[in-house]
């Protein structure tokens, strides 16, 4: 795994900026490392986290760690069930570079190592549904993930329903799509782990591996496993949409501090404690 670790530990020059101090080291970078090796390294990280119980943690952190371990196991069970129902060629993921679908992708990669019979997939079928006003930083991060994680990604700057139809037209063998929706997301409250699409939508099975995760658990997982995430999260963004409807979360504003351009400064997304304020930076 030394080859994978070396590729994964590479960070961009921007990681040295004050806003990104402390960013995890597992950085998506263009890589020729085989997908099988990447999956093995991710699985090692997941296994190590699940097996670790630090002795010196506070009660709050220890409770968060245990809740995150429970969520990981739950999600792995959901993905395992999906891999029993569908071949890897019949399964796709919806990936937009956000924190929730990043957790989902990482756990899928680990699961592919555990379910080695599903190899060798050449690529992971992926749809990236985005607005016409997507952040360049998000697009760059998605491109990096495509390279490192062997994503066979189709970009569709169209409404969700139209995008999924176009994706399935291009990939008619796909029967299920994994989606990184959580219960606190709009329309997420009543979803189950497996839900057929509603009437009027293109027909496929929606799989929701991270539906029961909480905001703090998402960030604990990504930071503990040192998974690189989109730089915007270090700049106070907590929920990513387009440039016209997404702003740094006002709950993270640092009072009486401005950067060199006179702009307000914000704490990183992972410092937010209140789940209910996650979308305070979104106007939609």
Question: How far is 103 from 98, CA to CA, in rounded Å?
Answer: 9
Strands 205-207 and 194-196 turn out to be antiparallel
pTM for this entry: 0.86
Confidence of residue 275 (pLDDT cuts 50, 70, 90): confident
Q: Give CA–CA dist 114/239, Å, rounded.
A: 31
Work out the average pLDDT over 12-22: 35
Weakest mean pLDDT among 120-129, 140-149, 252-261: 252-261
Q: What pLDDT, on a 0 to 100 scale, did the predictor assign at position 198?
A: 87
User: How far is C-alpha 280 from the chain's CA centre?
Assistant: 20
Q: What is the rounded distance in angstroms from the CA atom of residue 206 to the CA atom of residue 104?
A: 13
Alpha helices in the chain, H assignment, sequence order: 2-8, 35-51, 59-85, 99-114, 136-149, 160-170, 215-224
Lowest mean pLDDT among 78-82, 224-228, 273-277: 273-277
CB 271 within 8 A of CB 238: no
Measured in whole angstroms, the distance separating CA 232 from the mean position of its chain's CA atoms is 14
How confident is the model over 90-131, as pLDDT tens digits? 999 999 999 999 999 999 999 999 988 776 567 899 999 998
If we measure between CA atoms, which residue out of 173, 33, 46 comes closest to residue 104?
A: 46
Give the model's confidence band at 187: pLDDT under 50 very low, under 70 low, under 90 confident, else very high.
confident
pLDDT > 90: percent of the chain: 70
7: left (phi over 0), alpha (psi -120 to 50) or beta: alpha
For the chain, the straight-line distance linking the first and the last C-alpha, in angstroms and rounded, comes to: 43
Q: What is the pLDDT of residue 258?
A: 65
SS3 200: coil
Does residue 259 have a pLDDT over 90?
no
Cα–Cα distance for residue pair 83/70, rounded to 1 Å? 20
Measuring CA to CA, which residue among 160, 222, 158 is closest to residue 186? Answer: 160
- State yes or no: pLDDT of 260 exceeds 70: no
């Amino acid at each position: 795994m030394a080859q994978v670790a070396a590729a994964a530990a590479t960070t961009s020059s921007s990681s040295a900026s004050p806003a990104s101090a402390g960013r995890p080291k597992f950085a998506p970078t263009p890589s020729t490392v085989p997908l099988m090796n990447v999956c093995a390294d991710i699985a090692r990280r997941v296994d190590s986290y699940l097996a670790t119980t630090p002795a010196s943690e506070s009660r709050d952190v220890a409770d968060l760690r245990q809740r995150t371990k429970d969520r990981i196991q739950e999600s792995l069970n959901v993905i395992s069930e999906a891999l029993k129902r569908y071949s890897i060629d019949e399964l796709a993921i919806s990936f937009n570079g956000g924190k929730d679908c990043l957790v989902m992708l990482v756990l899928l990669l680990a699961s592919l190592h555990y379910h080695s019979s599903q190899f060798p997939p050449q690529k992971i079928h992926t749809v990236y549904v985005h607005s016409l006003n997507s952040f360049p930083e998000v697009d760059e991060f998605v491109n990096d993930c495509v390279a490192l994680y062997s994503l066979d990604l189709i970009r569709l700057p169209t409404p969700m329903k139209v995008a999924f139809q176009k994706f399935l037209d291009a990939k008619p063998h796909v029967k299920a799509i994994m989606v990184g929706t959580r219960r606190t997301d709009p329309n997420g409250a009543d979803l189950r782990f497996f839900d057929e699409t509603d009437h009027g939508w293109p027909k496929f099975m929606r799989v929701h591996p991270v539906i029961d995760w909480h905001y703090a658990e998402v960030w604990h997982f990504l930071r503990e496993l040192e998974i690189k995430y989109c730089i915007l999260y270090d700049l106070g963004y907590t929920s990513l949409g387009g440039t016209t409807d997404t702003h740094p979360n006002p709950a993270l504003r640092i009072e009486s501090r401005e950067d060199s351009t006179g702009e307000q400064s914000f704490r990183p997304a992972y410092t937010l404690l209140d789940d209910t304020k996650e979308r305070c930076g979104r106007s939609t």
